Amino acid sequence: MENPHLGEAKGADLEGIFIWKFMMHRIEWLIAYRLISEESLKLLLIGTMKTSIETSRGSNR
């Protein structure tokens, strides 16, 4: 990733996690990641906004 600070830094319980939102085919997607170093990051989640909300709530839909 050319600019690892491109995503929005989260706080509180999510401190250290960045969220990058983007549109693709008229659908809002997000990527959640944690910076390991300036050269490395750990990918935590890729999904649509709807999928991410359902996953965080524990939905089985």
pLDDT, tens only, 16-36: 888 888 888 888 899 899 988
pLDDT above 70 covers a percentage of the chain that reads 70
Predicted local confidence at residue 61, as pLDDT: 45
Which is higher by pLDDT, 49 or 35?
35
Instruction: Give the whole-number percent of the chain exceeding pLDDT 90.
Output: 5
Q: Which of 5-9, 42-46, 53-57 has the lowest mean pLDDT?
A: 53-57
- The residue type at 9: A
Amino acid identity of 23? M
Which whole-number Å values give the CA distances from 15 to 25, 27, 30, 56, 60, in the listed order? Answer: 30, 26, 17, 16, 27
CA distance 15 to 10: 5
Q: Which amino acid is at 54?
A: E
